[in-house]
Amino acid sequence: MKIDHYSFGRISIQGKTYTFDVIIFPERVDPSWLRREGHFLHMDDLKSVVHARPEVIVIGTGYYGRMQVPNDVPVNLGTHGMEVRIAKTPEAVDLFNEISSRKKTIACLHLTC
């Protein structure tokens, strides 16, 4: 998977445009990633990601970085052997495109604030 373009509230992946938060798996896109609390990430919000066992998880916290990722989330993911990269979504898009060509990578991206 490759992200073609990202702007506030819109992302194009492999030529298809999405306007809801997404999880990008190596073989598919989950086009409606909902979290228990919209701007606060919980481990429960990442069950499908943990089950897929990526080497790297890229978390995009929004255009302005408003989605909070508590310290226990990357620590917990690390205990599963996963590297976690957290950044504002514009930077997370670049990270995903760079890393995903070398390692099994999943991106969880908040597209707005």
Q: What is the pLDDT of residue 32?
A: 87
Q: Are 41 and 70 in contact (CB under 8 A)?
A: yes
Q: Are 34 and 61 in contact (CB under 8 A)?
A: no
Task: Copy the structure tokens of residue 8.
Answer: 């506030």
Give the pLDDT means over successive 10-residue stretches in the chain (113 positions). Answer: 97 97 97 92 96 98 98 96 97 98 98 95
What are the structural domains, with CATH classification, of the chain? Answer: 3-109 (3.40.1230.10)
Q: The whole model's pTM is what?
A: 0.97
C-alpha of 93 from chain center: 9
Q: What is the pLDDT of residue 38?
A: 87
CA atoms within 13 A on the CB side of 67: 28
